[in-house]
Amino acid sequence: MNHHIPRFGAIIIGDEILSGKRQDGHLSKVISLLAERGLALSWAEYLGDERAQIVATLQRTMASSDIVLCFGGIGATPDDQTRQAAAEAAGLAIARHPGAVAEIEARFGESAYPKRVLMADFPAGAALIPNPVNRVPGFSLAQHYFMPGFPEMAWPMTAWILDTHYAHLHHQQNITESSILVFDAGESQLLDLMGDITRTYPSIKLFSLPRLDTRRTIELGVKGKPEQVHTAMQHLQAALETAGYPWQTVDQA
């Protein structure tokens, strides 16, 4: 079993998402695709089509060991800045990828020229990500995977990445979570208890989610290794009973 699982991150790029012209579906889908494979998303960022910002973000993430899934901005229109930003962030030139050219020519024939072939210009040395919809590939570089913003293309490409490059990580984390509903208490009243749990079980993550119900309710839970989660939840439940706060399991709600 792998004891160190790299973090997965997502970068979602596009002015149209930030302006509200399009609603993002990538975040929830990435979470789902990872979860199906026993993996989890550690972070996500939204960026506009601004090259300097994309470059700065990629320089930071490329300096980490994170596996990063990037969506949007790899087309050939002037507002698409991701291909150029990735090259700049990695200190590489843009070069026309022969394999990408072959895919685009196979799909579009003579009409690949002079404009569609621009989508074969990637950072030098980048590898291809096959596109099962229209054969215009994405590319990968430094554990970063760049895909179109179109969900019908990007989502099967993401599944291919996870299954082709990271199958050895599937279902290796052995992470679980458990939570309960706590009634008649605000978060401020439970802060000392939460602090006690996190100090006693430093390897787990505690979460607190207030609910806007007619009765004051908080979903309180922990996430981590199964045996630690079980022990921490027993500790939590016993402390709540001692303090006089009623609770029930989430599936009883």
The verdict on 227 and 112 lying in the same domain is no
Average pLDDT on 30-51 reads 96
Q: Residue 220 CB: number of other CB atoms within 10 A?
A: 26
What pLDDT shows up at residue 26?
A: 98
**Does residue 2 register a pLDDT over 50?**
no
Q: Which two tokens stand for residue 140?
A: 């990968």
Domain that holds residue 222: 176-252
Please check whether residues 210 and 161 belong to one and the same domain.
no
Could you read off the pLDDT of 57-96 as tens digits, one per residue?
Answer: 999 999 999 999 999 999 999 999 999 999 999 999 999 9
Answer yes or no: is 3 within a domain. Answer: no
**Residue type present at position 166:** Y
Question: Could you tell me if 46 and 113 lie in one domain?
Answer: yes
CA distance 117 to 136: 9
Burial of 110 (0-12, 13-18, 19+ CB in 10 A): exposed
Q: pLDDT at residue 157 above 70?
A: yes
143 & 209 share domain: no
What is the band of 15 on the pLDDT scale with cuts at 50, 70, 90?
Answer: very high
Q: What is the pLDDT of residues 99-152, one digit of tens each?
A: 999 999 999 999 999 999 999 999 999 999 999 999 999 999 999 999 999 999
The pTM of this model reads 0.85
pLDDT 10s digits, 161-189? 999 999 999 998 788 899 999 999 999 99
E strand spans, the chain: 8-13, 41-47, 67-71, 94-96, 121-123, 127-129, 138-141, 144-147, 176-183, 205-211, 217-224, 247-249
* 3-class secondary structure, 41: strand
pLDDT tens profile 222-241: 999 899 999 999 999 999 99
pLDDT at 1: 41
pLDDT at 4: 75
Domain boundary among the residues 136, 169, 202 is at 169
> pLDDT (tens digit, 9 = 90+) per residue, 183-218?
999 999 999 999 999 999 999 999 999 988 788 999
Judgement on whether residues 139 and 193 belong to the same structural domain of the protein: no
pLDDT higher than threshold 70 for residue 28: yes
Q: What is the CATH number of the domain that holds 195?
A: 3.30.70.600
Q: What one-character DSSP code corresponds to residue 6?
A: P
Number of structural domains in the chain: 2
CATH of the domain at 73: 3.40.980.10
253 pLDDT more than 80: no
